[in-house]
Structure 1
Amino acid sequence: MLSQAAQMLERFISVAVNTKYPDAPPSEDEFIAEANALRAAFPIPDEEFEQVVRNLKAALVITMDVGVYISNRSSDHQSWLPSRRAGIDFYYWNRFKRYLEDVKGWNTRVTANLETVSNDIVDLFGDPQSSKPWQRRGLVLGDVQSGKTVNYTAICNKAADTGYKVIIVLAGTMENLRMQTQKRLDKEFAGRLSKDLLRLKGKQEVKNVFDGVGKLDSTKRISAFTSVLYDFNSSILNSNDLTLKNIKEPALFVVKKNKSVLKNLESWLYSNNADNSGKIDLPLLLIDDEADNASVNTRKEEEDPTAINAAIRSILNRFYQATYLGITATPFANIFINPETEDDMVGDDLFPRDFIYVLSPPTNYIGSNAMFGEEAKYEKSIVQINTEEIECFFPFRHKKDLAVDDLPPSLYEAMGYFLLANAVRDVRGDIKDHRSMLINVSRFTDVQVKIRENIIVWLEQVKSDVRNYAAWEEEQALQIRSLNLLKQIWDKYGLKDKAGVSWRILQMEYLHKAISPLEVRAVNQKTGAASLNYDTHEENGLRVIAVGGNSLSRGLTLEGLCTSYFYRNSQMYDTLLQMARWFGYRPNYSDLFKVWMSADVIDWYGYITAAANELKDEISRMNKHDLTPRDFGLKVRQDPNSLIVTARNKMRTATHVSRPISVTGKLLETPRLKSKPDVLAANERAFKLFVASLDSAGSRRDIDQNGLMWSGIHKDLIVELLYSFETHPWHMSFQGKALAEYIEKNSGFIEWDVFIPFGSDTTEFELEGANGTISLKREKRYVEEANGMIKVMGTKVRVGSGGCTKAGLSSDQIKAAEISFRQLNRDRRNVPDSAYLIGDRKPLLMLHVLKSTQKENEPANPKIPETLYAIGLGLPGNGQTEAAYYVVNMVEVSNWMDIDDDEDDDNVV
């Protein structure tokens, strides 16, 4: 960690450069000149100055776009903030902005856009100066671990400035997350340590200890009605004579989404603050963090979602003027898809009927696109786990009494890597920064505890070996098993180049000091809020291996997360995204972080990354066409990916789920097949019969793409193939029967283009056609089989390669489609397949002939044929949503899918 003088110099340079270059970052020479000029007043060592320069260079180039939103134009809401801005004293916002720039080192271009975003969102709120009653409902969509909290902190500061008097933040369902949020808002909004404020009278003296923004300016004060130590507690408030009536500045409540807590809060609000009508005449802002969790989605009986939903709505209705703002990263939540009818969707008073705002993360954010997108910059940060190996230790379907006698070799490798990463960061001078490793392989608390016990035994042995033998010469020290393992990992991942020192130097001078402070913590509901007490290690940094389950999955930030080991059985869109704690910011160690996960999960993350991008693209399109949140809600409900969330919530209560699913403007494929020989044989027959009819049913045409295309194929042939081709029920987005019925009944889609793409196989493959043999090259795909399912891997739960829907389009059509897409989606470099399904083209059927490849040096799986047949369907869209009715048999799906609960489970046997 930098010395105090170096930290001060860093702040001075940051302020000076941001002031002098407010609109664009300085050139390299300009920046160095400014830094050297200021250094003269701070005599610090060259190494520290170099670190200051590195830190500032990284911060200066960060940019952040403003977001895009849709709103309910038909409401009587009017824009109010721009016209009143000149008369508002933005005390809280300016203090927070100064804190971000002077203390956190943000450049002015990012804080300027943060100001624009928060202005836009607050202007969509109700006007707190209005004399009329109003109720507003909105939603902010952001990426996992991308900085949603800083956005709603900015909103809190701006809301306080504009006249909101009561701000309630619902911070998840667990106390450790509530505490984390309270600490953050203490520092960046209230400016005081709440733990020293709210206590029962007589127990301890109440003190004002300023922190964060409060150290910059404490002229005004936010009133704390909850604290780091206490969730909402009416006894404490009463003992301190606290009511909303006897404070001048805004009141802040940070509470859990817990039925009892919310009911007690609503009761206290009514008893102590309401008028004769039972309502409170103060403007309320209620921020619902992780809005898809518990507010609507939790299934635990003691936390009935209907009861929590009702409690939130009851609090909102206690105020004449109230704005509800949901915050989420997973928009396929039940807030959109739970109702059975369209009208019911907006009947829930938490539905964001007034506006939906999509945030753009800063450029230094490492998210799903950076790791799992089409051009993933950090794809090499993912290490694939051997599924067969780990299944011997932690089977997908295991119970709470699972014996944990040892750990998988890949987990030992991941932990060894984390130890070395600690040493490398020490070499870089980040000695006092927090360091974390995440291990998430089971939702059962008892299993997590056993894993922790095994890790402690291993880690203590490694510490002992390093303490006793690291000072030996390299050749002698490597006779010790643990040191030899670390050296193998060092070589495997090329850490010498990243550390800038030899193994000998690292072993002798850094390793012992790097790993000695390491602790192993279990993070679950039993261990409570103190599991990861980063604040108590601020001076020297906490170095921790965190073992947990779903308690690690919702909003909890793992500081300095460098290594993750993830093996879970959820296929649920929102659950998997929330488990992705490795998304976020990795200052000075983006080249070091790694995530261990299975090939199946890697593919699934790629799939849901594409799904999330499509949803954001939809917001941009709807903004252009002046559509509303209701339209977006219907679109989410009609997305094939929403079926999997439906499945989770209906699994135990219904046999069938029927849902209209959007099929136009999407590429639908069959990457998951049943491995039953009779099913595969039937699919092959249907496929070959269809190909054999193409020459007589249509005409071949020349195209620019590598493959064969026929035009003029009547839809009756397409319908027959879809009826005959059977896919696996797990992949619910492709239902051949439902698609066939939709095409059959639709008056359009009469004539089709059919495309067989050529692959890279070296041998010719032949199919019989009406006019003779059709020769082609098969597409090579890595294929796995397990539990009756054949999975096409390595293609983001895809069959075809990216851009295959260009088939049959002219170069001008392709260029126009790409320009149109990028005009709506300025932050997207990659153009998805759906962009080429333009309205003036024919519907497209793709026939994929795949050559199955399996892992090297492993015997061939007899259940996987050498040649597989798969199909893809692209129905052009013209901006209008058209839907087929999918029917999901929940009994059948439940046989293939485990339901991974949202919370750690210590009761299920």
Structure 2
Amino acid sequence: MLSQVAQMLERFISVAINTKYPDAPPSEDEFIAEAMGLREAFPIADKEFDQIMKNLKAALVIQMDVGVYISNKNSDHQSWLPGRRAEIDFYYWNRFKRYLEDVKGWNTGVTATLETVSNEIVDQFGDPQSKKPWQRRGLVLGDVQSGKTVNYTAICNKAADTGYKVIIVLAGMMENLRMQTQKRLDKEFAGRLSKDLLRLKGKQEVKNVFDGVGKIDSSKRISAFTSVLYDFNTSILNSNDLTLRNISEPALFVVKKNKSVLKNLESWLFTNNADSSGKIDLPLLLIDDEADNASVNTKKEEEDPTAINAAIRSILNRFYQATYVGVTATPFANIFINPENDDDMVGDDLFPKDFIYLLAPPTNYIGANAMFGDDGTYEKNIEETDTDEIEMFFPFKHKKDLVVDELPPSLYEAMGYFLLINAIRDVRGDIKDHRSMLVNVSRFTDVQVRIREKIIVWLEQVKSDVHNYGALDEVQTMKIKSLRMLNQIWEKYHLKEKSRVSWGDMISMYLHKAISPVEIRAVNQKTGSASLNYDAYEDNGLRVITVGGNSLSRGLTLEGLCTSYFYRNSQMYDTLLQMARWFGYRPNYSDLFKVWMSSDAIDWYGHITAAANELKDEISRMNNYNLTPKDFGLRVRKHPESLIVTARNKMRTATEVSRPISVTGKLLETPRLKSKPDVLAANERAFKLFVASLDTAGSRRGVEQSGLMWSGIHKDLIVELLYSFETHPWHMSFQGKALAEYIEKNSGLAEWDVFIPFGSDSDDFVLEGANGSIKIKREKRYVEEANGMIKVMGTKVRVGSGGCTKAGLTKGEIKEAEERFRKLNPGKVNNIPDSAYLIGDRKPILMLHVLKSTGKKDAPINNIKIPETLYAIGVGFPGNGYIKTANYVVNMVDISNWMDVDDEEDDNDVD
């Protein structure tokens, strides 16, 4: 831990560097010279100075790109901010910028980019100096835990500077999220502690305590209309005689997306502030955090998002001038998915018809790409858990009365790892930093409480054993069960190399002090908003294992998250992404954090990452072609992966949903199969009959890739196979019947290429052809079976390997396709998706996969429901510039048998 003098020196060096090098970071020599010059006035040890240099160097190398956006070119909106910048006093922005640089240690390059980004976004807002009425609707799209809050905090500061007088932030649907957001905006926007400021008069003295940006400059003040202690409350505002008329600076409201709160807010706005026309003549900025969680028709009745949606729109319509900005990390957000037709989508008053801005995270962000993408620079931080093991403790569809007699061994390992990481971080000098562990295995509050009780008993025993026996010699300590377990974890994860401390020193000198403060907290609706009060532990840091469900799944930031244990059965894209609290920033411990999760979840996160990236890339391409938010909304709604969101939304209200799904430029596969023997046998017969007809129906051709290809196959054969081949209904993006009907009707798909890729199996596998035996090599795939479903694992919910659509293309065509993709997607150097090779002038392609089923790590398969040989298919449709759609039908009765429909409910005890 740095001494107070050393901390002061670190801040002085940071401020000096940012002041002297505002546009670009200094060179190594310039940085050292600046630091050494300032050190002369501070008597600190070499070890502390080395730590300061390490901290500052890490901050200096962080970079951030500006974002990219699409806007409605057909509106009458005019750019207004650049032309007025010279006359605006950017008081709020400048003090926020100083706070980021001087207090939080941001380098000037990153704050300069943040300034550019916030300028571009605010310029898309309505002009607050205009005399005309206007309404603007937009969306800011970022990544989970990537800094969306700091972006909209910057936007709030800029909006206040440019003339917006009312700023409403909708901070999720739970009080703990609202409270967290209020604290953040108190510190980084308002500059005063609202908990000491806004109270019922007469109960306690109202204090004016400056904090965060307010300590830098308090000559101007944002008026607080909500506080950390209270959501919007008419009685408190009336008690303090607060109206929008009697304040000169902007008013800030931080409220929950609760229909009663929003209705009360609208009523107060109308009663106390509206003119004779029932409207308010002050520019409004309304920021809807987690915007996808405020649209329509999936929540329980008393929190019906339809009502929330209507309440938000009603508030906006109370103002002559209003800008609505949704903020989300999920491109498949309901705001795009729910409308039944294009006109309804445009007619939705919250649809971001005016602009969509895609944020770029800083380079030190560890997100989905880093953990689950093709590059996977942090994939080694993921520990795969045994699904069968966890199912014994937390079954796939358990209820709130689940008995928790014991916890999975892998959870004990994860908690033991967390305890050791606490000690290692102490050794590294991060003693005052918060440390958190996440345990998310059930959505039920009652189950979470039982898990917490088990963890408390275990932790107290470990603490006692470390205290009583940690100083004994190694032979003696190994006789203690808990210490032996900790030693096994220490050895397994090579923590001696990461800590540079021997096991003997660790357990005798560091571990007791490191784990004594560790607490266990349940984080859910019942525990209330103060369940994670990090501010109360500012001096020494909170060390906590948090057990929760959906309260841990959306918006809530776990400070200093080191370890996560995650086992949830949701496959809903937006839900899964929001559960990824482990994405974010890991200063000084990116080599230590770990996530325990099942192979199924790892697969789905990889699949979701690819799908989300595809849609984000679409924004860049649309920017190049001057397309609009409406075009993007249509792409999202017609993306095959959007069906899963549709299914959840419609589960309770319909038995069948029909949707047009884009197939142009897509490779659609069958990684999920029914495990019924008769279905698998029928698929095998259809597959083999198709292969047997290839030599007479078309001609073999040589290809660069390893495998066999036939050309000139008429679409009638493809259609027959697709009609005959049955897949699992849960994997909605492949619907053989819908695809067969689409091919039948499309004259441009008359001739097909068919490819059988060769795998790595050492033995030949023989298929019968019209001209004799066809020898191939099966593709080895790790396969699981559960609940009537066979899952091809370890391929990110794929069947084939990446790049399999190159089959049949020449080297020149492959190179040209890759160059075209990189040109349209700058920065995408290595990750070339299969869709890039589905170029417009090639034939559609059918992939025939013959799989050799294996267990984990190539072990023999031991599940009697899984045949050794499995058959799967994929169809690739070339992209020719025109978006063509197949009509998919989702049968909700069938789907509901395979989905945990209630998985999106709040973690109250709901059956």
Q: Same fold (TM over 0.5)?
A: yes
* Contact 1:140–1:356 (8 Å) recurs in 2: yes
C-alpha distance in structure 1 between counterparts of 2:751 and 2:228, whole Å: 65
* Contact 2:686–2:721 (8 Å) recurs in 1: yes
Structure 1: which amino acid aligns with 2:841?
D
C-alpha distance in structure 2 between counterparts of 1:577 and 1:547, whole Å: 18
Alignment-derived partner of residue 786 in structure 1: 786
> For residues 451-850 of structure 1, what are the structure 2 equivalents within 5 Å?
451-829=451-829, 830-850=831-851
Q: What percent of counterpart residues are identical? A: 84
C-alpha distance in structure 1 between counterparts of 2:420 and 2:907, whole Å: 33
Alignment-derived partner of residue 889 in structure 1: 891
1:384/1:668 Cα in 2 relative to 1: closer, same or farther (>3 Å)? same
- SS at 1:244 equivalent: coil
1:571 deviation in Å?
1.0
Alignment-derived partner of residue 880 in structure 1: 882
The superposition leaves residues 107-132 of structure 1 with CA deviations (integer Å, 9 ceiling, x where unpaired) of 11111111111111101100000000
- SS at 1:293 equivalent: helix
The superposition leaves residues 423-459 of structure 1 with CA deviations (integer Å, 9 ceiling, x where unpaired) of 1101111011000000011111000000000100000
- SS at 2:349 equivalent: coil
1:29 deviation in Å?
3.5
The superposition leaves residues 849-905 of structure 1 with CA deviations (integer Å, 9 ceiling, x where unpaired) of 111111477762121111111111110113321110000111011111111433434
C-alpha distance in structure 2 between counterparts of 1:818 and 1:781, whole Å: 27
Structure 2: which amino acid aligns with 1:624?
N
* Contact 1:675–1:864 (8 Å) recurs in 2: yes
Query: Which moves more between the two structures, 667-676 or 853-862?
Result: 853-862
Aligned residues: 909
Structure 2: which amino acid aligns with 1:899?
V
- SS at 2:136 equivalent: strand
Structure 2: which amino acid aligns with 1:865?
P
1:492 deviation in Å?
0.7
C-alpha distance in structure 2 between counterparts of 1:572 and 1:900, whole Å: 11
1:776/1:27 Cα in 2 relative to 1: closer, same or farther (>3 Å)? farther
C-alpha distance in structure 1 between counterparts of 2:297 and 2:826, whole Å: 33
C-alpha distance in structure 2 between counterparts of 1:311 and 1:2, whole Å: 50
C-alpha distance in structure 1 between counterparts of 2:341 and 2:658, whole Å: 11
1:202 deviation in Å?
1.3
Alignment-derived partner of residue 160 in structure 1: 160
- SS at 2:360 equivalent: coil
RMSD, aligned CA: 1.3
The superposition leaves residues 353-382 of structure 1 with CA deviations (integer Å, 9 ceiling, x where unpaired) of 111111111111111111111110111111
C-alpha distance in structure 2 between counterparts of 1:692 and 1:23, whole Å: 67
* Contact 2:142–2:358 (8 Å) recurs in 1: yes
Q: Given the alignment of the two structures, is residue 851 of structure 1 paired with residue 849 of structure 2, yes or no?
A: no
Alignment-derived partner of residue 391 in structure 2: 391
C-alpha distance in structure 2 between counterparts of 1:845 and 1:60, whole Å: 50
1:93/1:173 Cα in 2 relative to 1: closer, same or farther (>3 Å)? same
1:54 deviation in Å?
1.4
1:907 deviation in Å?
3.5
C-alpha distance in structure 1 between counterparts of 2:341 and 2:222, whole Å: 43
- SS at 1:246 equivalent: coil
1:297/1:820 Cα in 2 relative to 1: closer, same or farther (>3 Å)? farther
- SS at 2:326 equivalent: strand
C-alpha distance in structure 1 between counterparts of 2:445 and 2:173, whole Å: 17
- SS at 1:755 equivalent: strand
C-alpha distance in structure 2 between counterparts of 1:504 and 1:216, whole Å: 47
1:593 deviation in Å?
0.6
Structure 2: which amino acid aligns with 1:277?
S
C-alpha distance in structure 1 between counterparts of 2:696 and 2:65, whole Å: 53
C-alpha distance in structure 2 between counterparts of 1:786 and 1:677, whole Å: 14
* Contact 1:284–1:322 (8 Å) recurs in 2: yes
Alignment-derived partner of residue 181 in structure 1: 181
C-alpha distance in structure 2 between counterparts of 1:855 and 1:114, whole Å: 45
Query: Which moves more between the two structures, 332-341 or 538-547?
Result: 332-341
The superposition leaves residues 575-606 of structure 1 with CA deviations (integer Å, 9 ceiling, x where unpaired) of 11111100000111111111111111110111
1:297 deviation in Å?
5.5
Q: Given the alignment of the two structures, is residue 32 of structure 1 paired with residue 19 of structure 2, yes or no?
A: no
- SS at 2:689 equivalent: helix
Q: Given the alignment of the two structures, is residue 363 of structure 1 paired with residue 343 of structure 2, yes or no?
A: no
Structure 1: which amino acid aligns with 2:647?
A
1:3 deviation in Å?
2.2
Alignment-derived partner of residue 425 in structure 1: 425
Query: Which moves more between the two structures, 284-293 or 866-875?
Result: 866-875
* Contact 1:570–1:900 (8 Å) recurs in 2: no
1:23 deviation in Å?
4.2
C-alpha distance in structure 1 between counterparts of 2:904 and 2:735, whole Å: 28
Query: Which moves more between the two structures, 8-17 or 641-650?
Result: 8-17
1:154/1:774 Cα in 2 relative to 1: closer, same or farther (>3 Å)? same
* Contact 1:371–1:377 (8 Å) recurs in 2: yes
C-alpha distance in structure 2 between counterparts of 1:795 and 1:554, whole Å: 27
1:334 deviation in Å?
1.8
C-alpha distance in structure 2 between counterparts of 1:189 and 1:297, whole Å: 34
Structure 2: which amino acid aligns with 1:163?
G
Query: Which moves more between the two structures, 816-825 or 80-89?
Result: 816-825
* Contact 1:400–1:906 (8 Å) recurs in 2: no
* Contact 2:297–2:304 (8 Å) recurs in 1: no
C-alpha distance in structure 1 between counterparts of 2:473 and 2:255, whole Å: 56
1:823 deviation in Å?
2.4
Gaps of 5+ in 1: none
* Contact 2:331–2:616 (8 Å) recurs in 1: no
C-alpha distance in structure 2 between counterparts of 1:44 and 1:72, whole Å: 57
- SS at 2:903 equivalent: coil
Alignment-derived partner of residue 89 in structure 2: 89
Query: Which moves more between the two structures, 513-522 or 36-45?
Result: 36-45
Q: Given the alignment of the two structures, is residue 904 of structure 1 paired with residue 906 of structure 2, yes or no?
A: yes
C-alpha distance in structure 2 between counterparts of 1:374 and 1:70, whole Å: 27
- SS at 1:901 equivalent: helix
* Contact 2:298–2:649 (8 Å) recurs in 1: no
The superposition leaves residues 361-414 of structure 1 with CA deviations (integer Å, 9 ceiling, x where unpaired) of 111111111111111011111111111111111111111111111111111111
The superposition leaves residues 776-835 of structure 1 with CA deviations (integer Å, 9 ceiling, x where unpaired) of 211111011111111000010110111111112222222222222222322434111111
C-alpha distance in structure 1 between counterparts of 2:553 and 2:133, whole Å: 38
1:31/1:770 Cα in 2 relative to 1: closer, same or farther (>3 Å)? farther
Structure 1: which amino acid aligns with 2:867?
P
- SS at 1:431 equivalent: coil
Alignment-derived partner of residue 259 in structure 2: 259
The superposition leaves residues 301-329 of structure 1 with CA deviations (integer Å, 9 ceiling, x where unpaired) of 10121211111111100000000000011
